[in-house]
Structure 1
Amino acid sequence: MKRLLSLAALALLPSSATAADQVLGMTSSPLAWACIVIFVVAYCLVMAEEQLHLRKSKPVIMAAGLIWALIAFMASAKGVSHEELKSAVMHDLEEYAAMFLFLLVAMTYINAMEDRQIFATLRCWLITKGFNYFGLFWITGILAFFISPIADNLTTALLMGAVIMAVGEGNPRFITLGMINVVVAANAGGAFSPFGDITTLMVWQAGKVEFFKFFTLFIPAVVNYVIPAAIMSLFIPKGRPMGVQVQSQIRRGGLMICFLFLVTIFLAVSFEKVLGLPPFMGMMTGLALLMFYTYFMHIQGLTSGRRLTARPHGPEETKMDVFKEVAHAEWDTLLFFFGVIFSVGGLRYIGYLDVASESMYAGLGATWTNIIAGVISAVVDNIPVMFAILGMNPEMDTFQWLLITLTAGVGGSLLSVGSAAGVALMGTSKGLYTFVSHLRWSWAIGLGYAASVWVHFLING
């Protein structure tokens, strides 16, 4: 549940033009072809993670190592010095290190909020309110749309998915439609916020779009969600679920931690916009605030004589150790990003991204390439798609960078395997939400995808 991230970034530091522009220009080499095969095989294993029970980080880390080992042989044959080769590797390391710190802080805050039962309390409130199926369909979808920009599409989908499974027991039709609705809403909600999805953060941190410009995607994102939701709502069964009695309360300090998370986001933006510093510096400063707050919580508990144990008539006062929340970060996700960055970075260094940019952006044009890239992200995760496009660095204006941000963010909704939210809910729905059940509604989701692109041209073009 802690694969986050929609509150993350892959390219948080601008690197030197010299390192970024280095390419071997050996795309026709048999060793270069082997690099392509290695990456494709690794990513096929990533896509089959649920079936193979193989963590997604393992194949891409192996691929990254093999690709750069082959690159070293090619570079040596071409007479490239070790210093130049190391410079190319350090270019990718700089991006990964900044992403790692940014992502680790975001994960720690989300873990801390889970520990304080923020999400569990919201879930219990929804379950006990007695809404009918139609109301729950729209409430869970709308909440997913607005929670995703702050949290991430995976955590949001799991939260709302737990509500749907709890209240929809015995009504598989509602569960299926509710799950699809949540996936679409969570992906659409992350598309208009710089912190809502990894791809939006990548574009922002790469300096392609200013922070507040992303919010011009709000209306296209709403259209992307509302059209398929309105169509599916016509098929929601009538009636209301049976009452479910559950209880949960926010633990001590929970609301303050939520406030500190908002302060941390503000610091990340301010460090970048006002001070000209990388956003991860603001995030790390925000992590320090969380550390000091948990320290004062502990001191207050000791001086007031409180027992840091469960109380019979209130939320648990369990001691909170921020370093345990750091340890509980989703390390599989962090290492997966390492593999993606270094694998795609290796292909860029060989020269493949330049070839792809020339054939796609120069041949098809930016608009059609960006729209097609969004559809591709339904099959191949939007992270490597966006990272590859940033590696191509095509000449595009703000409007086109916003377009690829939108399409890459919402394109994953077209298939259940196109986003982390869809994959996670397939694993928790006990067979009620599947690839085929989602595919039956892909036409409605496709209408929302096309309409959101059209609205983006209409209001932002």
Structure 2
Amino acid sequence: MRFLLALAVLLNSSLMAMAAEGGNGGGMTVVDLTNYPLSWMVIVALVVAYGFVVWGEQHHLEKSIPVLIGAGVIWAIVGIVTHLQPDHVIVEQAEFGFEHSIIEIGELTFFLVTAMTYVVTLQERNVFEMVRYKLLGAGLSQRAIFWATGLAAFLLSPLLDNLTTALALISVVIAVGAATRDRMFVSLAAINLVVAANAGGAFSPFGDITTLMVWQAGKVEFFEFFSIFVPSLVNWLVPAVIMSFAIKSSDVEAYNEPVVLKRGARRMIALFALTLVMAVSAHIFLELPPVIGMTTGLGFLMLYGYFLSHHEHEHFEAPVLPDGIQDDMLAVLETHYKLKHKPFNPMTSIKRLEWDTLLFFFGILMAVAGVSQLGFLLKVSEYMYGNLGPTFTNSFVGVLSAVVDNIPVMSAVLKMDPNMVHGQWMLVTLTAGVGGSLLSVGSAAGVALMGAAKMENEEGRYVSVYTFMGHLKWTWAVALGYAASIWVHTLLHQMY
């Protein structure tokens, strides 16, 4: 059922995306070629590709594979359709559209590569483990930990992605749940983390891929994102207050393993902050893409990592192997097995990135760009934004992102480039960021916590405590927060 629903909703998303392109297509010149039967094959290719993404979740197929193939098929169809036209200018326009998409998506991809490399490096240096250690050692009650982890997620996700933030804090929740044997606490705290991480990422261009897309597209300036801080806060607080009444206020004594920051951790945090400042400064003062500041910061990280790795190599103590291991056997061990603890290597952080996610991001955006190139987006955009109104449509975008990944949905909106006031661009930025909280499968944070939030049952097996149905029971509370955030945003922008 979810498979069919996802396909139907994605088709609607694609039609919305198709509709807006007859305008300026996000900077590309687009000709309406939707009357050709072959043109509709790009919709079929997109739906099939996304269908295999949904299927692959259950069969361990990397989600990047179908979208990369689908993007290639879609652009091949675009090439065939444009070459069938008598006017050769249409072919040149399609070529320009492809090159424009590659540049735009490439900038976003390298921005994410830098940000994710810093996050992986900070994980390796025990920064997030230190956050867990400090929270558990504060002597808080269950209800206080519920609020502390939610607040930490809301404040960390503007700088980190919602996935990393949720995973870093769920360890605190699981430790408390293991000590108290309170499954309800773990489930509610996990929902709270998902909502808080998504809400916190909505008011920062670094907090979510969709906000980054809006920023780099020039629809919202850097400091303007903070105007949706209050609606984002309301989006988290409303369900958090409701759920907190179901949390016990008893004290907690959970096992808290001591953590020590590895050498260079604080300097890497400072480098990350400097990198973000350079990205913003390049965009505001030099009118250059933010990615140039990010990649420069990546170079600084790798340079510092070079000196750090040399220092750790000099002081590295190799593990003591059992006596009797022959030299040939030692060579085999060194070839086929990796040490758990070894000197820092900056390139290792890049190798550990979620490359499947990055390639999925590249593939799905290229696929949507190909669909938009044939001019599908204009008709539905005129209907959705013209007849139904921007407020209803932008609110629906958030609900849509709870079922379909918010990346293609936001990409579709940007390709539509509807003519709407600035406050409506802020609204769609908000709804696309927080709408995924409505379902556990609506965001990367929710999907990750369904696999990470596990507790030992009476039979000694570890089972998931945070589940789809468990989240669904509280969707009404999350929906109240979603509606309240839209109301607050509308009220604030009417006033100011």
Separation in 1 of the partners of 2:246 and 2:26? 54
Return the match for 1:264 from 254, 275, 279: 275
Alignment of 1:206-355 (within 5 A): 206-300=217-311, 306-307=315-316, 318-355=342-379
Per the alignment, residue 4 of structure 1 pairs with none
Per the alignment, residue 404 of structure 1 pairs with 428
Per the alignment, residue 446 of structure 2 pairs with 422
Q: 1:85 offset after TM fit, Å?
A: 3.2
Separation in 2 of the partners of 1:50 and 1:160? 24
Does the alignment pair 1:125 with 2:134?
yes
Contact 2:26 2:416 in 1 (8 A): no
5+ residue gaps, structure 2: 1-23, 320-339, 454-462
Contact 1:19 1:91 in 2 (8 A): no
Return the match for 1:98 from 103, 107, 121: 107
Does the alignment pair 1:141 with 2:150?
yes
What letter corresponds to residue 67 of structure 1 in structure 2?
I
Does the alignment pair 1:56 with 2:63?
yes
Contact 1:357 1:392 in 2 (8 A): yes
Per the alignment, residue 165 of structure 2 pairs with 156
The range that moved more, 122-131 or 326-335, is 122-131
Does the alignment pair 1:389 with 2:389?
no
Encode CA deviations 1:79-112: one digit per residue, 9 max, x unaligned.
3545443222112111121112111111111111
Contact 1:308 1:317 in 2 (8 A): no
Separation in 2 of the partners of 1:308 and 1:189? 42
Per the alignment, residue 206 of structure 2 pairs with 195
Q: 1:168 offset after TM fit, Å?
A: 0.6
What letter corresponds to residue 57 of structure 2 in structure 1?
E
Separation in 2 of the partners of 1:364 and 1:224? 24
Q: 1:130 offset after TM fit, Å?
A: 3.4
Q: 1:32 offset after TM fit, Å?
A: 2.4
With over 3 angstroms needed to count, the CA separation of the structure-2 counterparts of 1:47 and 1:242, relative to structure 1, is: farther
With over 3 angstroms needed to count, the CA separation of the structure-2 counterparts of 1:274 and 1:30, relative to structure 1, is: same
Does the alignment pair 1:452 with 2:485?
yes
Q: 1:21 offset after TM fit, Å?
A: 3.3
Number of residue pairs matched?
438
Does the alignment pair 1:76 with 2:48?
no
Contact 1:132 1:241 in 2 (8 A): yes
Alignment of 1:348-387 (within 5 A): 348-387=372-411
SS in 2 for 1:361: helix
Does the alignment pair 1:47 with 2:54?
yes
Per the alignment, residue 113 of structure 1 pairs with 122
Q: 1:323 offset after TM fit, Å?
A: 1.5
Q: 1:208 offset after TM fit, Å?
A: 1.0
Contact 1:168 1:241 in 2 (8 A): no
Separation in 1 of the partners of 2:183 and 2:199? 24
Encode CA deviations 1:38-96: one digit per residue, 9 max, x unaligned.
21222233234432211111111111111112222211222354544322211211112
Q: 1:362 offset after TM fit, Å?
A: 1.3
The range that moved more, 342-351 or 65-74, is 65-74
Separation in 1 of the partners of 2:306 and 2:410? 39
Per the alignment, residue 7 of structure 1 pairs with none
Encode CA deviations 1:206-242: one digit per residue, 9 max, x unaligned.
1111110110111111100000000000111342444
RCO comparison, higher one (Cα < 8 Å, 6+): 2
Encode CA deviations 1:120-170: one digit per residue, 9 max, x unaligned.
121122234332211111111110000100111000111112221222122
Percentage identity across paired residues of the two chains: 48
Contact 1:187 1:412 in 2 (8 A): yes
5+ residue gaps, structure 1: 1-16, 311-315
What letter corresponds to residue 355 of structure 2 in structure 1?
W
Contact 1:301 1:307 in 2 (8 A): yes
Does the alignment pair 1:438 with 2:445?
no
RMSD of aligned residue pairs (Cα, Å): 2.0
Return the match for 2:73 from 63, 66, 71: 66
Pair member with larger Rg:
2
Contact 1:158 1:421 in 2 (8 A): yes
Separation in 2 of the partners of 1:339 and 1:436? 31
